Amino acid sequence: MLQKNFFTPKQIVKELDKYIIGQNDAKRNVSIALRNRWRRLQTPEDIQKDIVPNNILMIGPTGVGKTEIARRLADVAKAPFTKVEASKFTEVGYVGRDVESMVRDLVRQGVKMVEEEKKKEIREKAEETVDERILDILIPPIKKPVGKAESAFSQVEESPEEEYDLNVKTRERFREKLKNRELEERKIEIDVQNQAAPGMGFVGGGMDEVSMMNIQEMISGMMPKKAKKRKVSVKDARKILVEEELAKLIDMEEVKEESIQRVENLGIIFIDEIDKVAGHSSKGSGPDVSREGVQRDLLPIVEGSTVNTKYGVVKTDHILFIAAGAFHVAKPSDLIPELQGRFPIRVELESLTQKDFHRILKTPKNALTKQYAALLQAEEVEIEFSDSSLEVIAEMAFKINEEIENIGARRLHTVMSTLLNEILYDVPDSITPGTKLSITPEMVRNKLSKMVENRDLSQFIL
């Protein structure tokens, strides 16, 4: 759950600024929505259930940061997050994905998130247990010899005292070696649980996704788990056995319970391409009926309803929904009135300018220039972009967007890939480790000139 010293709206915006350039209005609104979730959890329980989240509708062209804002918001809150495309859903009764699947996706993310957190808490304990298991395989323990009186009645011949002491000392030495990772490449034989359940299909009437998953899980639980022997290095054995040990130590019922609670109170669902299911003003056409059907199926989920999942029943009343669309053809008012009312906060995102492109290349923590520098650093090659070269890259990307099709910041990926294609191909054969490369404005113009010149032909390339 949200901690007591949770981010203030200004701090949330500051966090988003590390990754997203511009779009201050959108950042402001999502930061308020996120802080309101913390505020709600501080209110008395009798009023908590009545405070519903203010869902947000983002309107703006592709590549301006709609998805990134929602994803980074979830990272700040450490909240379960899932992104879906409204155009992939079909009305109930048609073949395809039903809208409830978005909640099931969110719960899966929540379970995965909580499970990872629990694993971190007990990993050290699991690793200690696994090291002992590996030690038992490398140097099997010997029984401590019993006294003479006992050995007279014992039918099993015990090891002598000297052999036992030697075994203890050897095991201690090997325990230290395991701890210092000195035996990582040594091969050992381990028993691996084969948990892969066979895929099953059912012939006949339709069956919902939850029932199918539950039946498969039940049959898989009834089938005996077979262990098979594998010869692997100590390093690989540790990975396999640690996962097995973690699975034993984690209480999955507790994980499910905490996951559902987190999903219900903190979950964020990002519905992209909402404009694709918005009906047009002309009535009577088949596709419009289908679009309206998807909207009507979405409505109870967004309003607040209960959804059955394989992990339990989930209430959607306090899940934050962020919808987004370009709305080039349809308008937000083309959505059914009831759904419009469930997205009270509307934010228009601005198209990116040439200056924005320059800042996107330079400022964010995950800037493309930093990503490419890290990739080449793996080959021990250093690359440097001068500020003037970044200005030229931004200018050309902006120009191509204007003259071909505006795909926003995604255009920078194409431009950067074209610019560095030859360098990435030549490393490390022609460009050897230890080389320092500097990208100049002249180099940018030479590499990208053909891309700009061929813009008239690009519209005919599929």
> What DSSP character marks residue 226?
E
Q: How far is residue 344's CA from residue 54's CA, in Å, rounded to a whole number?
A: 6
Residue 2: the pLDDT is 59
Largest CA-CA distance found in the chain, in angstroms, rounded = 100
Tell the residue number behind the tokens 């080389």, with chain if given.
435
Tell the residue number behind the tokens 């290349």, with chain if given.
361
Residue 266: the pLDDT is 92
- Do residues 114 and 258 make contact, with C-beta atoms less than 8 angstroms apart? yes
User: What global pTM score does this model have?
Assistant: 0.80
What residues have CB less than 8 Å from 38, skipping those under 6 apart?
2, 6
Q: What one-character-per-residue DSSP string does 351-398 give?
A: PP-HHHHHHHHHSSTT-HHHHHHHHHHTTT-EEEE-HHHHHHHHHHHH
Residue 453: the pLDDT is 67
Q: Which CATH number fits domain 9-111+260-348: 2.40.30.20, 3.40.50.11540, 3.90.1170.40, 3.40.50.300?
A: 3.40.50.300
Q: How far is residue 258's CA from residue 431's CA, in Å, rounded to a whole number?
A: 52
CA atoms within 13 A on the CB side of 138: 26
- Do residues 238 and 212 make contact, with C-beta atoms less than 8 angstroms apart? no
CA separation, residue 8 to residues 5, 19, 22, 67, 346 (Å) = 9, 18, 19, 22, 21
Q: What one-character-per-residue DSSP string does 308-328 give?
A: EETTEEEE-TT-EEEEEE--S
Residue 461: the pLDDT is 42
Lookup: tokens for 247 = 């699975």
Q: How far is residue 343's CA from residue 326's CA, in Å, rounded to a whole number?
A: 16
* pLDDT tens per residue, range 116-127: 999 999 999 999
Q: Within the chain, which residues score under 70 in pLDDT?
A: 1-4, 92-96, 146-159, 194-225, 279-289, 452-462
* pLDDT tens per residue, range 359-393: 999 999 999 999 999 999 999 999 999 999 999 99
Residue 221: the pLDDT is 60
Residue 214: the pLDDT is 59
Domain 354-456 sits in CATH 1.10.8.60: yes
Q: Domain map of the chain by residue range?
A: 9-111+260-348, 122-256, 354-456
